[in-house]
Amino acid sequence: MLFGKPSGFRVEVHRQRFLHLAWGRLSVTCALETYSVNFKLFDPQGNPLRAVLSATFKEHKDPEVQEKEKNLASPDIMHGHLIHDGDTLVNLTYGVYRDPGLYIAVAEVNGLDTVRNLDSGSDLILPPVR
């Protein structure tokens, strides 16, 4: 018997238990999906001293947040982007428009002489698609 319940009693959870996972700069709200414990070291009485926990988490976002993010990724609104080292115009246009071929039009709008060397720290305008 467990807590006065007959053995074999199963508690149904109607919603996932959420947690906030932070590791360095990564910070997400998530739900524990699966976990396993692998005991590695025991004392002479058989009590566990060391264990390895493996866990799988599923990111959770409120529907309101998901809708806002979906709208921000829309190609029909103006986007601004701060150039970082390693950014390429082809990758940026693919990320916003899902069409890397629009890099020439974006270069023209921004008055770029070359698409090969983007100045890190400069701003780039990604106009809406008409």
**What pLDDT was estimated at residue 14?**
60
Alpha-carbon distances, residue 35 vs 26, 45, 52, 59, 61 (angstroms): 20, 26, 10, 15, 21
Average pLDDT for runs of 10 along the chain of length 130: 47 68 82 90 95 88 70 64 88 85 89 85 83
CA dihedral for 88, 92, 93, 98, sign (positive or negative): positive
**What pLDDT was estimated at residue 79?**
76
Pairing of strands 123-126, 26-42: unpaired
Domains of the chain from N-terminus onward:
1-60 (no CATH), 71-126 (3.10.350.10)
**Collapsing DSSP states into helix, strand and coil, what is residue 82?**
strand
pTM as predicted: 0.43
**What pLDDT was estimated at residue 3?**
45
Token pair 């070291």 in the structure block, residue: 41
The answer to whether 44 and 32 are in contact (CB under 8 A) is: no
**What pLDDT was estimated at residue 37?**
94
**What pLDDT was estimated at residue 72?**
52
**What pLDDT was estimated at residue 2?**
42
